[in-house]
Structure 1
Amino acid sequence: MADTTFTHSPATTDRGRRWVVLYLATTGLVLLLMMLAGLWMRLAQAGWVYTDPALFYQLMTVHGTGMVGIAALGGAAVLWHFLSAHVRLNSRVMGANFGLFLIGVVAILVADFPGRFGGAWTFLYPLPATSQGAWPAWAAALHLGGLLVIGVGFLIWCLELARGIIATYGGLGRGLGWHVLFGGSMRDVPPPTVVAATMVTIVTTLALIAGALVLVMSLINLAFPAVEINPLLAKNLIYFFGHTFINATIYMGVVAVYELLPRITDRPWKTTKVFLAAWTLSTTMVLIIFPHHLLMDFAMPVWAMAIGQVFSYVNSFPVLVVTGLGALAILHRSGIRWDLVSTLLLISMFGWMAGVIPAVVDATVVVNSVMHNTMWVPGHFHFYLLLGLLPMMFAVMIHLARGEDTRPQGSDLTALLYLLFGLGFVSMFLIGGWASVPRRWAEHLPEWQIWDQVASVMAVGVIALTTVFVAMFLVRTPAILREG
């Protein structure tokens, strides 16, 4: 049985606590700004506001890049907060990462608005250098440089997690529980949060290295156009980085489920060998399924596409099953009084598990050839993030806001409204994709606009409820810091 003693994290006191609070406050505010940018794009596609197409693609670039970055910042805060109960970490690393993050964000905003860069978060080679006059080379370089700076910050953060886990448990393999999985004593088993953190450390570090490599190559190409990159290699590196990095954010956030549900129900979350095997399998598979993004690239080796399709099916199950069933087992007949935190955590489990379904559908070759460049794809990742990752973050914010008071607080009806508006919003993406509405178009035909219009209304509801959750945290921020 895992150690079930719930200690207060060192991150909840002094400097570490301040960084966690600052990360989450920044996450909440930037989320709202990015949601407003997304709403503006949907309003433009709905025909309700006019937006110059060049500005639309600048907004699309900022929205996509910003959402990925802020998901990582919020996930990092959640993971750091709970991991610090098990592993001693140096809070100065949080400060360094935050400083580099701000520098990178400023660079990206200057590149994307005054500089007019609109190459999307994917920055696919050779688009940054061949904009046909849509943006100058310096804007592309500044955008890519900003991404590189942010990536360096998160790489430093990952290396600190690795150092802490190795110092405490004796190695990353032991952090994943391999010594127990392959015959060791259950008395030495790491808690679920450490297992998840080890997985995040491994996959995020590898993703960031790949991202840094292709960013440096692209910057060299911008400075010296004669130095060309193999386009297929560049695309593989970009999607290995992007797919793995954004997936890692929800693995960061899921520790909130492992830590908070046991506290709410007063039941332990046991680290079993099945649990350890599931996380080991996911560590491997999340690194090799990214070719499902390249199923339409005829130059890709067939074996790589086969891996992308087959393992996209399999990867969805191990961690989702042990986490979903584990959550249901803890909740079953627990007698808890449902409140905002517990309801958000349950919604996050639903959002994670259900959001995988349209992703697996799109990873099927015969479906992908028809659906991949449609609104189905943003429908899948909005589902996964809006109803999976974000409720985890909101639950942690509200948990911190209520401090030592563990009585049920907040209306679970608010969380259910968020679920309904969120489902309505993502459904419009999926229905549009089913109808073959193309993605990344600044203007939609009149017959497509009904889905954009409904999505815009749903987005207003999502933004309003997100504002409520974030405000609940921000108004309590001074008290949270004092309590530390």
Structure 2
Amino acid sequence: MTASELEYATPDTQRTPVVKLYLGIGLLVFAGLMLVGALMRAAQGATTISIGPEVFYQLMTLHGAGMVGTAGLAALAVNWYFLSKYVRLNQKIFLGTLVLSLVAVVMIVGSILIGKFAAGWTFLYPLPATSLGLWSKGAALTFVGGLLLLGVAFLLVYLDMGIAIVRRYGSIARALGLPMLFGREPIDPTHPPAVVASAMVLIVNVAGIAAGAIVLIMTILHLIYPPLAPDALLMKNLIYFFGHVFINATIYSAVIAVYEILPLYARRPWTVSRPFLAAWLAVTLMVLAVYPHHLLMDFAMPSWMAIMGQILSYTSGIPVLVVTAFSGLMLVYRSGIRWDAASSLLVLSLFGWAVGIVPAVIDGMINVNLVMHNTLWVPGHFHFYLLLGLLPMVLGFASYLSANGQQGRTGRVGAMVYAVGATLLCLSFLVSGALSVPRRFAVHEESWQWLGDVGALSGGIVLVGTLMIAVPILLKLPRARLASISESG
């Protein structure tokens, strides 16, 4: 941090309390939803577990909505904590976002477990209003209203972030580094990567959440007054634009932990360069435009959108991914890094993010998509991103924040157990997809059931690894006092 930036840094004692609350709640919810996921895979296997299709789809909705929402909030905590080193953020707004989010969670969970809503976290139109008697209109309205409230909560904290960034840097463009990229200002290697990533997240996720709000309001109006029937293709475009942007922004928020923490372990700075800034600008534009790759099977879509979706599928992950993964490896190489739970998880996240792009690109090929898109290949690729990319970023940050990664042998072994279990789980999904096992099926054919058993076992291993990492964090987190890596080394 430069001298001019020191005045904007907020003391750790003020920055950490609400962040700890976000992380503590997030870790508990992650563990619970992992158990739900393992139960679903077990129900698809040859075991004696049988939960019935109705309960399966309720759990599928709970698992999907819960994991996406919790990941978003946990990554927001990472983003807020590090951004608050460089700009003045309002902790009351940050706490208010958590309170509103918890109210939204109660609405969503209640609509599923009490109202039996089971239309999936993507709430594809007109499914919420077409339940065949399985859930009521009230349950659908509560679920959709919960998602809308969650979006409002995110927008509040993003508004505070945006105002703070503009006050400190003059504009979002300057925070993103555009004047330096295009030669209007000299390259400042001390410009924080966390600020660049935060500017990108603000741009894309405000647009994504706004689209989500529009489609949620349209869904609510249709539920209240069924003759008001919006165009189905428009609704699907808005839903997938929102969903794709939101989960991508979640990953780009969490990667800030890599930028901020790994340099402390390696004792080398992560400097901003023109390729770094160019990569973040490219991915800002690509994340907004790539979503049609979810709609390649919707033949009513304009051809140019399908072509754009396919081309950008090949390229969208490359800019930041190559810069981040390559720079991260160069940062660690021969640095004498101390390997503990935090550093191990953060490096694992680079692997998961880099390798997870491969099945995503394969599915983005139209000829492959024709066969693979409605198979378990798709859960395979996004579990790879989230389980081996996003979640290790969050767990690594939580480990660092709670005790500078010094959790002893339990945390380090937990990171290895987690990595093995997550890899096996992702492979079980990908192999299932390659064998044409369909997704969103509550019951599988006998010849597919062994893959369900492998998935359930792998999910159990992931849960064990997560608990080995999370329990020491939860025990230390309330009283944790953040010190520098060099102090704790």
TM-score norm. by structure 2 comes to 0.95
Alignment partners' CA distance in 1, 2:398 and 2:87: 21
- Show the counterpart of 1:416: 416
Alignment of 1:174 with 2:174, yes or no, is yes
Alignment of 1:185 with 2:207, yes or no, is no
Q: Which amino acid is 1:367 matched to?
A: V
Alignment partners' CA distance in 2, 1:411 and 1:21: 18
Aligned length: 480
For structure 1, the 5+ residue unaligned runs are none
1:417: how far off? 2.4
- Show the counterpart of 1:261: 262
Superposed CA deviations along residues 186-220 of structure 1, whole A, max 9, x for unmatched, are: 24863111000100111110000000000000000
- Show the counterpart of 2:486: none
Superposed CA deviations along residues 310-362 of structure 1, whole A, max 9, x for unmatched, are: 01111111000110111111111111232221111110000001111101110
- Show the counterpart of 1:20: 19
Contact (CA 8 Å) 1:9, 1:82: kept in 2 or not?
no
- Show the counterpart of 2:121: 121
Q: Which amino acid is 2:177 matched to?
A: G
The change in CA–CA distance for 1:6 and 1:462 in structure 2 (over 3 A counts) is farther
% identical equivalent positions: 46
The change in CA–CA distance for 1:25 and 1:108 in structure 2 (over 3 A counts) is same
Superposed CA deviations along residues 36-91 of structure 1, whole A, max 9, x for unmatched, are: 11111111111320112111100000100000000001000111111111111011
- Show the counterpart of 2:337: 336
Contact (CA 8 Å) 2:317, 2:357: kept in 1 or not?
yes
- Show the counterpart of 2:246: 245
Superposed CA deviations along residues 369-404 of structure 1, whole A, max 9, x for unmatched, are: 10000000000111100000111111111111115x
Q: Which amino acid is 2:35 matched to?
A: L
Alignment partners' CA distance in 1, 2:379 and 2:286: 22
- Show the counterpart of 1:467: 467
Q: Which amino acid is 2:176 matched to?
A: L
1:287 aligns to what SS in structure 2?
helix
1:411: how far off? 5.5
Superposed CA deviations along residues 147-187 of structure 1, whole A, max 9, x for unmatched, are: 00011001111111111111110000001101111111124
- Show the counterpart of 1:75: 75
1:335-484 residue pairs with structure 2 within 5 A? 335-402=336-403, 412-480=412-480
1:6: how far off? 10
Contact (CA 8 Å) 1:11, 1:80: kept in 2 or not?
no
Alignment partners' CA distance in 2, 1:164 and 1:11: 17
Q: Which amino acid is 2:42 matched to?
A: L
Q: Which amino acid is 2:43 matched to?
A: A
1:413: how far off? 3.9
Segment drifting more, 107-116 vs 272-281: 107-116
For structure 2, the 5+ residue unaligned runs are 484-489
The change in CA–CA distance for 1:427 and 1:407 in structure 2 (over 3 A counts) is closer
1:479: how far off? 1.1
Superposed CA deviations along residues 90-135 of structure 1, whole A, max 9, x for unmatched, are: 1111111111101111111111121111000110111111111111
Alignment partners' CA distance in 1, 2:9 and 2:451: 45
1:10: how far off? 2.2
The change in CA–CA distance for 1:143 and 1:411 in structure 2 (over 3 A counts) is closer
**How much is the aligned-residue C-alpha RMSD, in angstroms?**
1.9
- Show the counterpart of 2:36: 37
Contact (CA 8 Å) 1:4, 1:269: kept in 2 or not?
no
1:441 aligns to what SS in structure 2?
coil
Q: Which amino acid is 1:337 matched to?
A: R
Q: Which amino acid is 1:450 matched to?
A: W
Q: Which amino acid is 2:46 matched to?
A: G
Q: Which amino acid is 1:28 matched to?
A: L
The change in CA–CA distance for 1:180 and 1:313 in structure 2 (over 3 A counts) is same
Alignment partners' CA distance in 1, 2:407 and 2:447: 50
1:99-138 residue pairs with structure 2 within 5 A? 99-138=99-138
The change in CA–CA distance for 1:301 and 1:345 in structure 2 (over 3 A counts) is same
Contact (CA 8 Å) 1:250, 1:389: kept in 2 or not?
yes
Alignment partners' CA distance in 2, 1:100 and 1:413: 36
1:416: how far off? 2.3
Q: Which amino acid is 1:290 matched to?
A: Y
The change in CA–CA distance for 1:246 and 1:44 in structure 2 (over 3 A counts) is same
